[in-house]
Amino acid sequence: MTIKAAIVGAAGFAGIELVRLLVQHPSFELIAMTSDAYAGEPVASVYPAFAGSVDLAFSATADAPLADADVVFLAVPHTVALKHAPDLVAAGVAVIDLSADFRLKDPEAYAAYYGVAHTAPDLLAEAAFGQPELFPEDLARVRQRHAAGRGVLVACAGCYPTATSLAAAPVLRSGWGAPSGLVVVDAISGITGAGKKASERTHFCFANDNVEAYGLVSHRHTPEIEQILGIEGRLVFTPHLAPLNRGLLSTVTIPLAGEKAGVSSADAEELYRTFYDGCTFVEVLAEGQQPRTASVAGTNRAQVGVAYNPRVHAVVATCAIDNLCKGAAGQAVQCANIVFGLAEGAGLASLALPI
């Protein structure tokens, strides 16, 4: 089976990662890769790592035969997906949206955090949330709908929400109970998270040899994380930048209500192993080991570590992903695989570099 795929916004960092994955995918065939800034230019002239390997060119979005595609990946800024998605879904296309436009189930929250009204609340209501390990039924529902010939939309989780929820969900969804106070998330991203646009923040000489926090108090991923984990109004989320290209580490501290008599880090590890049993892309590390972002760079994998702190009755869990892959393009392909009934890991199996 060859599935016709298009990417809108293919020249950005998430978009070009989609190109990398789809060019090598056994079932998808790229019929269009749009970039209004680079329309007509060969991909390899913008991303020279593809010289000699990828002989394709960007096209203007207006010229791209999006409605002819079976699946359209939207790697665009928020509000742009709102423009494209409704018509494509109406045309029967499976839309895999990497933007934030359809992630927040509450249109009011969208308006509050993104500063614009949500113009497609009906589509929002029927969209699946694209985090396959935590919302498999949501994707299964959409897959059935698509199998019945209908257009569908998957709103892929953001990079910070993906890593954070993989770290926190096992304990929050288990009998270990709700947190007793605030859930604190400090996360660190590589500089690809700041996007392709050249700026002072992304200038090598300012980003190198430096770590810093940013987006305190009001980062837009806050309500998304709260929604995924069901901890509305209890999250403090602080993102940081560190000098690496790819990689995102989320460290989640969850205070537990009451002593867990006899609970240990080994119990926490066991809880996590059971929770992620059968999940292709999540590796729970042995007690005492910690995820390394380098270990997942270039892959769709997540590594998760967990420890129980008996002194203060809190769980500290960490998750490392590649923000461009499992945090964006890889998860999008994973979702598309599910929607089309392919193996969940199709085209996503490559090993990490050992060093």
Residues labelled as active-site residues: 159
Residue 154 burial (CB count, 10 A): 32
- Dig out the tokens for 326 from the structure: 């499992």
Nearest-approach distance from CB 190 to its own copies, in angstroms:
8
Measured from the CB atom, is 325 or 335 closer to its own copies?
A: 325
- Dig out the tokens for 228 from the structure: 């995924």
Measured from the CB atom, is 54 or 155 closer to its own copies?
A: 54
Nearest-approach distance from CB 40 to its own copies, in angstroms:
17
Q: Among all chains, which residue has been given the structure tokens 């609970």?
A: 263
Measured from the CB atom, is 148 or 205 closer to its own copies?
A: 205
Report the alpha-carbon angle 291-10-237, nearest 5: 40
Nearest-approach distance from CB 143 to its own copies, in angstroms:
26
Backbone Cα Rg of the chain: 20
Nearest in space to 325 (alpha carbons), one of 290, 299, 304, 302 = 299
Residue 225 burial (CB count, 10 A): 26
Measured from the CB atom, is 79 or 238 closer to its own copies?
A: 238
How far apart CA 273 and CA 153 sit, in angstroms, is 31
How far apart CA 259 and CA 263 sit, in angstroms, is 9
DSSP annotation of 138 reads H
**Cα 161 versus chain centre, distance:** 7
Nearest-approach distance from CB 206 to its own copies, in angstroms:
7
The residues near 40 (Cβ < 8 Å, ≥ 6 apart) are 57, 58, 59, 60
3-state secondary structure of 2: coil
Measured from the CB atom, is 143 or 246 closer to its own copies?
A: 246
Nearest-approach distance from CB 234 to its own copies, in angstroms:
7
Side-chain-facing half-sphere of 5: CA atoms under 13 Å = 27
